Structure 1
Amino acid sequence: MSDLDSIDLSLLRLLQEDGRRTTLDLADRVGLSPTGTSQRVKRLFREGFIKAVRAVLDPQKLGRGTIVFIQVRLDQTAPHVFDRFADAVANAPEVLECHMVVGGFDYLVKARIADMTVFQEFLQRVILPLPGVRETHTYASVADVKPDALLPV
């Protein structure tokens, strides 16, 4: 972060709020010329501070209104088992995020499904057949309290 000045941080905040902002709008808001603003944004992309620009979709309208969190414990903690699990979960479109964690289980999986009526099918089709799965615990979200939080910059 030491390479970023207050204008860079402002650009990151503005683009994080709305990635469709034009260069002219950004320039006006940060007090730079459009050319200077464009060069800074390109540098922020090039240096990896901005990874991508995406649309945020409405999961309810797309038939994916339910979030489930699944704790997964593997039957062994060998590198090849972790690698096989990671490869398999990366190919499951319902899985939004998967984190290897320390503690009482090995992975925390976040998935979006239509509703709880299809959860059992999802669990049997996607999670339980994954390599090395020994035990799972599932928690269904009943409310999105702070979805898609912005990073503090």
Structure 2
Amino acid sequence: MLDRTDKAILRALQTDASISNVALADKVHLSPPACLRRVDRLKRAGLIDATVALLNPQALGAGMLVMIGVVLDRSTPESFSAFEKAAAKISGCMECHVVTGEFDYFMLVRTRDGESFNRLHAEQLLYLPGVRQIRSFIVLKQVLSTTQIPL
């Protein structure tokens, strides 16, 4: 179980993982050594997967976000496995999820613009194994995107 201090540490790190241990300790009202021990324990427990920098996609030429629904032609472990291995190699693929409902997968892909997405579609997406149907949804406006899990 997480206590109040653990949750405060996790909330602070989700907001700014580059915070120094001294500043984090001050923020959660612990001594720096006690704070460091807690952070290490949270990492060992698997609650902190990684510490990363979130980059600005527009500044890096990946401002177009596309959600892609995929339907496979067969629902076998082999077809799912082949698709997943190939999807992991798609340029700009940020996420790929197995879903319920009308589609088998939803992918989130970042690319420069419509022309580069068209090229990606023609050169990579159409060649994904076992695909019966691909439906692309170009994001017009990002209303909310967060990496923070509510605690």
1:63-102 alignment runs, 5 A limit: 63-102=61-100
Give the match for residue 148 of structure 1.
146
1:84-123 alignment runs, 5 A limit: 84-123=82-121
- After superposition, the CA RMSD in angstroms is 0.9
> Does 1:50 find its partner at 2:40?
no
Question: TM-score, normalised to structure 2's length?
Answer: 0.97
Task: After TM superposition, give the deviation of residue 149 of structure 1 in Å.
Answer: 4.1
Q: 1:54 aligns to what SS in structure 2? A: coil
Match of 2:33 among 32, 35, 46: 35
Separation in structure 1 between the aligned mates of residue 95 and residue 23 of structure 2, nearest angstrom: 33
Match of 1:139 among 137, 140, 143: 137
Q: Percent identity?
A: 39
Match of 2:126 among 120, 125, 128: 128
Match of 1:26 among 24, 27, 42: 24
Task: After TM superposition, give the deviation of residue 148 of structure 1 in Å.
Answer: 2.4
Contact 2:14–2:147 (Cα < 8 Å) also in 1: no
Task: After TM superposition, give the deviation of residue 89 of structure 1 in Å.
Answer: 0.8
Question: TM-score, normalised to structure 1's length?
Answer: 0.96
Task: After TM superposition, give the deviation of residue 93 of structure 1 in Å.
Answer: 3.3
Separation in structure 2 between the aligned mates of residue 97 and residue 124 of structure 1, nearest angstrom: 20
* Runs of at least 5 residues in structure 1 that lack an aligned partner in the other structure: none
* Runs of at least 5 residues in structure 2 that lack an aligned partner in the other structure: none
Q: 1:117 aligns to what SS in structure 2? A: helix
Contact 2:70–2:133 (Cα < 8 Å) also in 1: yes
- Residues 63-116 of structure 1: CA deviation (Å, up to 9, x unaligned): 100000010001111110000000111122310000001111110010000011
Separation in structure 2 between the aligned mates of residue 37 and residue 149 of structure 1, nearest angstrom: 23
- Residues 107-126 of structure 1: CA deviation (Å, up to 9, x unaligned): 00100000112211111222
Which letter does structure 2 place at the counterpart of 1:41? V
Separation in structure 2 between the aligned mates of residue 61 and residue 84 of structure 1, nearest angstrom: 33
The runs of at least 4 aligned residues of structure 1 exceeding 6 Å deviation read: none
Contact 2:22–2:32 (Cα < 8 Å) also in 1: yes
